Amino acid sequence: MLGTLLLTAPAAHAADTPLRDLGTAKGKVIGTAVTGAKLTGSYGDIAGAQFSSLTPGNAMKWGSVEPTRGSFNWAEADQIVEFAEAHGQQVRGHTLVWHSQNPSWLTNGSWTSAQLGTLLDDHIATEVGRYKGRIAAWDVVNEPFNEDGTYRSTLWYNGLGSGYIARALTAARAADPAAKLYINDYNVEGVNAKSTALYNLVKSLKEQGVPIDGVGLQAHLILGQVPSTLQQNIQRFADLGVDVAITELDIRMALPADTAKLAQQKADYKAVTAACVAVSRCVNLTVWGFTDSDSWVDSTFPGYGAATPYDANYAPKPAYYGIAEALGGTTTPPPTGACTATYSVPSQWNTGFTGNVTISCSGASLSSWKVTWTYGAGQQITQAWNATCTQSGAAVSCVNASYNGTVPDGGSVSFGFNANWSGSNPVPTVTLG
Ligand code: 9MR
């Protein structure tokens, strides 16, 4: 005889309403960075169903599209743009002018300032021109600042001065007047020296009439460290007259992940999403990879990971529901695991029986436990072991002994008892709490 109460339903399934539809209802575009080669099977299904914007994680970077001077490879970029169009999605172009992931012919070359300016202009005209009308927004300039708000020393800054930024924006506008043009950086989510430098740059560009439509706050965050000034910072850019996008959101944690960390991560994702929802000019929230199997974090920060809203098997994590809830979704998150209590009667004789309860955990754990049930046919416990049981009328309550309160993930604990019965001995429904 067995009676099991499953405390929580472990089925891993996404909320009924996809993130992209929740976002639309709030006026937000919800995006993810993607890898073109993975856009099939479950990865493709989720990318297409849940998101209304795609950002190529690497496919549009200069080193990807022009590995040899004058010899272009657009295959992955084209694939992502075509996938997006087939799924009614926007594309964020990423990125035109950066200090990293440039082709070696460019970084190893020795260029005059004039040559460098022409290379920049031509690159932008070629790439933006190729996708004219098909890219909603371009990260035109990526990561131009140091942490203290000074300009980063790069190929571009060193060769052209800070004017390379206005030059790039102007070239991008000429190549595709419809695309929104962004400057994108990291560690600019809160109000700090770096974000203030970005603010001052955008203000000055606007005053000079340089085309600038938005700022991208990358948001590569650490668990529990969402800046308290995030919404205030988004608002000050909005007040400047530009759009804001959260362009590369991920929230890394020290591995292994556990229930508490995943709950904190959910709160963090929810806080970031809520800050965007609160400011109407925050137009796009994009995660930098939607699955833990497709994240830059693990290889870059050894010992850290689990940074995205889906686990490596494409099950939505609590973080997914943090985003959904901040967008007005109401689906209760499925738990990451469950503990269950199972009641059985290993032996029974004419007036008595021996009962057993086993508490098992999978994907969850307990540090103490209490199991209760109500007898339906007058059964009476006379003696218990490995638990302290009390019975009041038909109501039985058993709590752990001093030595067996811990039930680890993947483990189980049992206790037993003797009891009297007469007439019948039906199995009660047990509750673990
Ligand atoms: O996700 C990208 C990863 O696959 C590359 O190896 C890495 C190289 O720097 O770039 C990653 O994307 C970066 C993005 O283009 C700009 N912001 C920081 C991102 C994480 O490094």
Q: Is 100 near ligand 1, meaning CB less than 6 Å away?
A: yes
Domain boundary among 326, 356, 386: 326
The tens digit of pLDDT for each residue in 192-239 reads 999 999 999 999 999 999 999 999 999 999 999 999 999 999 999 999
Alpha helices by DSSP H, listed for 87-211, are 104-107, 113-130, 155-160, 163-175, 193-208
pTM of the shown model: 0.77
Q: In whole angstroms, how far apart are CA 420 and each of 180, 371, 375?
A: 77, 19, 11
Q: Amino acid letter at 293?
A: S
Range of the domain at 282: 19-326
- Is position 12 within any domain? no
CB 432 within 8 A of CB 378: no
Q: Amino acid letter at 31?
A: G
- Is position 161 within any domain? yes
Domain match, 261 and 389 both = no
- Is position 13 within any domain? no
pLDDT(12) > 60: no
**Strand order through the sheet with 370-374:** 387-392, 395-400, 370-374, 431-432
The label of the residue with tokens 């939607």 reads 290
Domain boundary among 280, 306, 326: 326
Please report which helix (H) or strand (E) contains residue 81, including its range: helix 75-86
The count of other CB atoms within 10 Å of the CB of residue 159 is 17
Domain boundary among 264, 296, 326: 326
CA angle 196, 198, 204 (to 5 degrees): 100
Domain match, 293 and 366 both = no
As a whole-number percent, the residues of the chain with pLDDT over 90 amount to 91
Domain match, 315 and 401 both = no
Residue among 127, 143, 248, 325 flagged as catalytic: 248
Distance 50 CA to ligand 1 centre (A): 22
Q: In whole angstroms, how far apart are CA 158 and each of 161, 188, 194, 382?
A: 6, 23, 19, 85
Q: Measured on CA atoms in the order 308, 312, 318, 323, is the torsion positive or negative?
A: positive
Q: Strand 412-420 and strand 380-385: pairing?
A: antiparallel
Distance 30 CA to ligand 1 centre (A): 19
Please report which helix (H) or strand (E) contains residue 82, including its range: helix 75-86
Task: Indicate which residue's Cα is closest to atom 20 of ligand 1.
Answer: 296
Domain match, 270 and 396 both = no
The tens digit of pLDDT for each residue in 149-169 reads 999 999 999 999 999 999 999
Q: Is 334 near ligand 1, meaning CB less than 6 Å away?
A: no
| 147 is an active site residue | no
CATH number assigned to the domain comprising residue 167: 3.20.20.80
Confidence at residue 9, expressed as pLDDT on a 0 to 100 scale = 33
Distance 288 CA to ligand 1 centre (A): 9
Distance 214 CA to ligand 1 centre (A): 20
Q: How many domains does the chain have?
A: 2
Q: Is 248 near ligand 1, meaning CB less than 6 Å away?
A: yes
The tens digit of pLDDT for each residue in 328-380 reads 997 665 556 788 899 999 999 999 999 999 999 888 888 899 999 999 999 99
Domain match, 353 and 210 both = no
3-state secondary structure 286-339: EECCCECCCCCHHHHCCCEECCCCECCCCCECHHHHHHHHHCCCCCCCCCCCEE
Tokens coding 335: 């738990």
pLDDT(421) > 50: yes
Tokens coding 25: 């209802």
- Residue in 31, 88, 29 with CA at minimum distance from that of residue 56: 31
Which residues have CB under 8 Å from 227's CB, separation 6+?
189, 190, 191, 192, 233
Confidence of residue 6 (pLDDT cuts 50, 70, 90): very low
